Structure 1
């Protein structure tokens, strides 16, 4: 992530907006797989879920989160920029 933040900063993108975008997109990997987040291996190791259901639910949650980030997130960031908070 530091490399992407540096490249965005050099290209003139707002640093706070870039950091927030990178942080929000970082959550996708933890949602999809049973080994992507810190709690995933523990929950999977106990046997609450099988791999197929984990990946299916993870894919659905990732798509829903992406849609929220694209719709509400972009609107919210524009509001923050208009209020000079970013």
Structure 2
């Protein structure tokens, strides 16, 4: 769904209120849902050479070809996702335990 929008900012502005409302109706923690959506927005800019603001500029210089860009982007996206799922969830639980979130 991220690629229906021209930028990550447009995606967040359009979709965050919708997903926040759905989270609120379903009883999910609103702050954690919003943070998860905001963090996941970075995946679109990592995967492709056109998904973020800096990607077209860096790709246009010619340092990388499309295949290597997508390969490195996929690896970085998977690693970032794993960090968010492991350390991120652990950290959120710590913040909830300390009544900070």
Q: Which runs of 5+ in 2 are unaligned?
A: 1-15
Q: CA RMSD in A?
A: 0.8
TM-score by length of 2: 0.81
Please, what TM-score do these two structures have when normalized by structure 1? 0.95
User: Could you give the per-residue CA deviations for residues 15-64 of structure 1, whole angstroms, max 9, x where no partner exists?
Assistant: 21111010011111110000001000111111111100000000000010
Moved more, 5-14 or 34-43: 5-14
Count of equivalent residues:
86
**Mapping for residues 66-77 of structure 1, pairs under 5 Å:** 66-77=81-92
Tell whether 2:76 aligns with 1:61.
Answer: yes
Q: Which residue of 1 aligns with 2:19?
A: 4
Provide structure 1 residue ranges, at least 5 long, that are not aligned to the other structure. Answer: none
Q: SS state of the match for residue 49, structure 2?
A: coil
What stretches of structure 1 move > 6 A for 4+ residues in a row? none
Aligned equivalents of 2:67 and 2:17: distance in 1? 33
Match of 1:35 among 30, 50, 58: 50
